[in-house]
Amino acid sequence: MNFRTTFERMIAARERQAKRYVTSALLNMDDETLRRAGYDRKSLRANGNTFLYL
């Protein structure tokens, strides 16, 4: 594996991690706030990308 492939995989992993974190933060908001921001709880949960706090 060369440096470029390693770098691209690292960036992709960090993007997935950021998406999980943001999704979890959004799910902590109330439904009205989510609606105003253009999200809905059902679609966020459907993504299944929630950050697990251990």
Spatial distance between the Cα atoms of 14 and 53, rounded to a whole number of angstroms:
16
pLDDT for residue 47:
77
What is the pLDDT confidence band of residue 51, given thresholds at 50, 70 and 90? Answer: low
pLDDT for residue 1:
76
What are the sequence ranges of the domains in the chain? 3-47
**Which pTM value belongs to this model?**
0.72
Grouping H, G, I as helix, E, B as strand and the rest as coil, residue 16 is helix
Spatial distance between the Cα atoms of 48 and 16, rounded to a whole number of angstroms:
12
Dihedral (C-alpha) 48, 49, 51, 54: value to the nearest 10 degrees?
50
Report the pLDDT averaged over residues 1-13: 94
In the Cβ-directed half-sphere of 21, how many Cα atoms lie within 13 Å? 6
